[in-house]
Every structure is written in structure tokens, then in C-alpha cells.
Structure 1
Amino acid sequence: MSTPPHQPSGDPSAGPGRPFPAQANPSWMGQVRQQDYRPAPGHQGRALAPVMPGPAQDSLQRSPGRRGGLLGLTIGGSVLAFLSLFLVVPFLFANTGPGGLVIGFVASLVPLSIVLLAVQAIDKWEPEPKRLLFFAFTWGAAVSIAVTLLIQPLFVVTFQFSDEPDLRTYLATVQAPIVEEFAKSLGLLVILLLARRHFDGPVDGVVFAFTIAGGFAFTENILYFGRAIAESTDPAGDFAQVFFLRGIMSPFAHALFTGTTGLVMGFAARRWHAGASVAAFFVGLLPAMLLHNRWNSMGQGFLLDYALVQVPIFLLAVAGIILLRVAEKRLTRQRLLEYSAAGWFTAQEVQLLATLAGRRAALAWAAGYGRKRQMKDFIRAATRLANIRQRILSGRDVPLHQAEERQQLQRVLALRASVAG
């Protein structure tokens, strides 16, 4: 196939005055303004052969820069989580006892598994690095719990209450929504500021938020399940009731709360700007705190409120995530088509890379040649490239993202060679 001449994406003629393709905005997500649009840089060199046929070659190692950045964040997060355990574990042990702690830990694995399976399903299109997900989980399970335990006494000391029930109500409906959502979402802000190349939009925000919230709920469930055993005259009955309410009826409660913050921050990440992202952190806390307050305020009419309010909210969240996934796929396909027009992909490859059916076919073919892992890397690299282009077209920090684009384009070419030969 022929390749167009090289057109640097930083060409001064790009943007205003250049043709604006009608298909540049394939969905409501990631809209591009005409003045910010610029064509993809043209491919230089020989025409590209289709990636599917050909012998296998040695796989390309991941970029050292990416590995180093994530490694530093992982180590830092692990140290924070380890230090947090010196506060969290004694607190759990004092409230549950050894037997309650063990049983609570095992029982908490059930709702945690449900949430993590949901994260895996949502994250299937563009899987996040496992190190980053590990950071998110440990932040939720340890660091955010420790932050909550450190801040919570300030609410108790600052405000005066007439009796114990008033204090409990205040802690559940005011302190918990504010402190817990702040502690959890602080991890989102750390990821956005320190690993922003992996925080490409609202879907990523939901994935990270669900993972953090799943970790937080895991530790919190250990407390509630263990306490139901340690403080009850009917341990089996009380444990079964608490497990049903928290483990079966509401495993996604914390995920939905913090997910709203991740959603807001994800939209801010689409048009990257440090100040806007920090502002999105505070804006995103408001719906999370409101939903958390609404949940903790349910009293005697719990079942009715659960059926009429919480279930519809959950179904709305599911529908919203599906819409986000559809929009993300359309955006990926359009950006890859633009690279295809510039000579970086064949038309066949765009079909393989931008649809679930195409990806399954590509992976099945690669598995027959023992190259499934390399094909996965190629798919992920192409998806990452589409997200980089989306950030370029946002009009913010364009030279920075163009430098990243040049590196990613070379990585895509090298991965193509590792798959097709």
C-alpha cells in the first residue's frame, strides 16, 4: 500500500484552517474542537504488510520508562500500605478478636471477588497495568482506612452531642461520607497526578475507583463481620444477617460512591490540565459524599428505600458503564482510522484492533503461532496510541503528548514485527 508523505502533527498549518473530518467526533465522549484538530503524523518508510501472516519473532520488552514510573509508584504505595497496617491491624484485632478477625477476613473475600470481577469486565477493553491496580487496591484496603482512623477523632472532638445515639447518627451520616470518600478518592488523585498516561478517561476513572473502593470495603467488611461475631450473643445469626446485608445485597455500595468521583476525574483527564484535575477531585467528592450519606441514612424503611432508590441507582450505574464502554470503543476506532489514513495501520488491522470480535480473532490466530502474549501487547499499545491522540486533540500540552506519540508509534511498529515477522 502507498504511504502519504510525512506530515508532522506539530505543523503550524494544523488546526484552524485545516479540513475537519465529519467523523472526528464519533461519540459524545472526547469531543474535539475544530481549532484543535490536526492530522496524524504520516508514516515514513516501506508500506506496511498485514500483521496476521508471518513467522514469530522475539517479543519486544516494555518501555523502561513506563516500568520505572509504575515501579516507583508501586513501591511508594506498598510502603504506605505497610505502615498503615500498624494502625489498621491493631484496630481490627481490638474490635473483632482473633476468631472474628479470621472469619471476617475469609467472609470478606466473597464481596471483594464480586467487585474485582466487575472491575475485570469493565477494564477488558484497555486493561490497566497490574501494578497500578495493585496500588489502587492497597490504597483502599490499608492507606484510606488509616487516613479515616486518623481523621475521624477530629469530628468527635470538634462537635458535641447530647447522647450516644446522636453521636452514632452523626458519625454515620456526616463523618463517614466526608472522611471515607476523601480518603478513598485521594488515591485517585495520586494516580491521576503521578500516572496520568494511564488515566485516559472516565472508564479508567471508574476502574481505579472501583478497585480502591473494593479494597476499602474489604477491610471494612472484616470489621463488621468480625464485630458481629465478637459482640453478639447470637454470633451465627448476627453474622448471617450482616453478611447478607453487606456481602450479598450491597457489595457495590462503596464502588458506586467512589465511582462517581472517578467518573468526574476521568472526564477531566480527557482534557488534561493539572489545576482542572485537582478541581475535579473536589467536585467529584460531592456526589460520592451525597450517595454515601443517602445510603447510611436509610433506617427502618431500609428494604423499601433499597428497592425504590438504591436498586435503580445501581441499574443506572450499569447502564452508564455500558454507554461509556461503547463510546470508548467508537473513539478508539476513529483515532486508529486516522492513523491508518496516515499509513501506520492497514484497514484490516483497524478492524482487528477496534472491535471485540476482531480482537478475539487476532488472539486466536496468534495463539496458534505461540504469539498470544505479543498480540495482547500489540492490541494494548494501539489502544494506548489512540488515547494519546485523543489527548493531543484536546488542545492541552500538545508538544508533550506529541513526544509521547512518537515513542508509542515506534513501539507499535516494533510490536508489529514481534507478531508478524
Structure 2
Amino acid sequence: MTRCRLCGSEALESVVDLGATPPCESFLAADQLDLPEPAYPLHLRVCTGCWLAQLPPLITPEETFREYAYFSSYSASWVEHARTFVAEAVRRLDLGATARDAFVVEVASNDGYLLKHVVDRGIRCLGIEPSVNVGAAARDAGVPTLTAFLDPATGAAVRAEHGPADLVVANNVYAHIPDVVGFTRGLRALVADDGWVSVEVQHLLTLMAENQYDTIYHEHFQYYTVGSAIRALASGGLALVDVEPLPTHGGSVRLWARPAEAVGGTADGAPPARTTAGARGRVADMLAREKAAGLQELSGYAEFSARVAKVRRDLLRFLVDAADRGATVVGYGAPGKGSTLLNHCGVRPDLLPYTVDRNPYKHGRFTPGTRIPILPPERIAADRPDYVLVLPWNLRTELLAQLSYVHAWGGRLVFPIPELSIVEVKP
């Protein structure tokens, strides 16, 4: 990487180097275990011109998303998050008014986990999803879905066929595209001139404060502060008008944007003039928090690599000590973040003989790089391990309830992030 993908600056500075790993969703079938497995550098850098943290685009979205192993509907908390968002957006934007033919578009709509709530309300909608397999699942669930990547041409074609969207939703996709300017222009092509765009993305402020380095993986090309998101949105003609902190994915932000010409937006980070005082205050407050954390100067990034190294040492020490004592440790979940953690820590089946996952697509496969078997969740109750290492730690509340049954034999849960914690679950 020689230039920032947003502003073109060559002033890119290292944040953390995690070595080389395979793409995090490239789960191996049994007949692939004796074949070569490509790995790519995983080195996060930050641009001191616009403060966008980014990875080099070593793999393409086409390689990752044509067939995708992640189905959003397997997370109960995420489906509930989507239901709540739809209800609030309908109320906030008056999308349920009978006098208008409202239209909602979701980009990277996955298996229809969010738009099914829009369909249930009788509101016209369309999903744009590049993955053939999960898009097919959405259509089977009754959610109209176009198989495509978003770019300005796709946005214009959808607008020409269906009309402009009152609301465009882009949840957990803004980090997944290397052409951030082209993608943002695609969002602008979709949305009505007086419409709204809602973007949910993990917040770099929380990622660094909570040592969430395992969320750094190849299909995440960039990591946003609100300040860098303002510049990214402006590159495609959108202006940030409000921001909401969210607990999802360990700490995210919901960015509400509108066409810049509708609100007088600029690229300098100042909240647009034609927004409410409350919204202006929320944006200004988040920018102030980021500045106080040092995320607009290199000093704010200086200690992150050392904290990452401690997470690695603590997890390895626990696993090795457990093995030496004869205690059994198995994993729960096979998320993308788990691939980064396991590869960076060098965990293999001798320390973690298997992990389980609710997604049947992953059963009988093996984790990328570390080649740990992925089994159905029922295996935990059958084996009664001493410890369960929870890889999707961001679902802590949900999984404390789901895994409460390990209490029956005195099992305990282990959360590796933000620091190693061993939890005795209650029935």
C-alpha cells in the first residue's frame, strides 16, 4: 500500500502488524486439508492526511462475497437489533404513511434478516446482495433481492427501475469495500434527493480502547472514526447529520447521512447547518471524544500494538496451562474475528480440538489457517468440556444465556477480548 484509498496521501503509518493469515471466511472442506492455503499480510495502517485506518486491498470483494459463509439470521440478537431499527426508522422517517409509496433499499442485505421486517410492514423494498448463496436464501424468505455489488452504475440502474429510495441502509458493509468513493457514490445514486442513508460500522475509537484487534481481517478494508467517516461520505456527495453509538460488534456507530445539497454539508467535519441542534451536538460530541483519545494524531495509536501482544500472551498462557493440567477447552463459534485471533495466537487443534457453530454451512469444515474442526453446537453438551472459549465475544450477553447449560457439569466460559476473563455461568 503506497497511497490512502480515500484522500490519496502517501503518509501511511503502522498501527499493528498481525502477520499473514488466510481470508477469514475461507473455511476448508476435508478434501482441501492437503492443499496449499494462501495467506496475506494483515497490517493495519492509518493515513495521517485523513485519519482513515486501512488495510491494503490484497483480496477482492469478488473473492470473498460470491459465496459467503455468514448468514445474519443465525444471531438472535442481531435479528432483534434489525427489527428494532426498522421500527425506529419507520417512525423517524414516517415511512408508514399511507399517502406515500415509501421505498427502502438495503445494501449488503445478506439473507434478508432486516428487510423481512420491512416486508412485514407492507413497505416496498429491495436488497442488493453480492453473495449468490445468501441472496438466494433472502429470496426464499420473500425478500426481493438483486445479486450485485453496489457501484454508481448499479445505484443508477436500481433508481431508474424502482425509483429513488426514501431510506438506504448499509449495515456493516462500509468497511468491506476497497473503493470507498465509488461505493459512496453508489449510495448517493440510490437515495432520493430528500432521502436518508443509514450506515452502521464498527467504531475505531472502541476497537482500540477495548483491544478488539480480532475484528481486523482482510474483508474489512478500512476502520472508521466519525471524523474519517465524514470525509468518506462527503467523497460521494453525502453529509453526516446525526450519529448514534451502538453496542453491536463490541461498539459501533450509526451514521445518519443525507444528500449534501439538501442540508448544506461540507467535507471539513462541521455538522451541516440545516440539522437539529441535538443532532449537531451528538456529532460534535463524538468528534470531541475522538480528538481526546488522540485519534487525530499518531500518539493515539502508539500503544495499541503492545496491548494486542498482551492479549495473545494471556490467551496462549491459559490454553497451555489448561493442556498441562489435563483440562479440556473447546471453542464456541467460528466468526471472522475468530480466524484473526486463532491465527495471530498460533492456536491449533492440540490446544483447541474443535469449535462449534450454529450455522450448518460450516459443519464439517475447518477454520482457515489453524484448521480446527467446526462441529454442531450439540457436541459441547455431549463432551462436557471444562472450558468453552467464546470466539464471538461481542455476543456476550446472548451467549451467556445460550450456554448456561455448561453450569450443569461445572464448565466455565472464557472470553479473550478485551482481556482474558473466565466466567462461571448461572443456570
Q: Structure 1 or 2: larger strand share? A: 2
Specify which structure has the bigger relative contact order, considering alpha-carbon pairs within 8 angstroms and separated by 6 or more residues. 1
Does TM, normalized by the shorter one, top 0.5? no
Computing the radius of gyration over CA atoms, which structure comes out larger, 1 or 2? 1
Q: Structure 1 or 2: larger helix share? A: 1
Q: TM-score if structure 2 supplies the norm length?
A: 0.29
Q: TM-score if structure 1 supplies the norm length?
A: 0.29
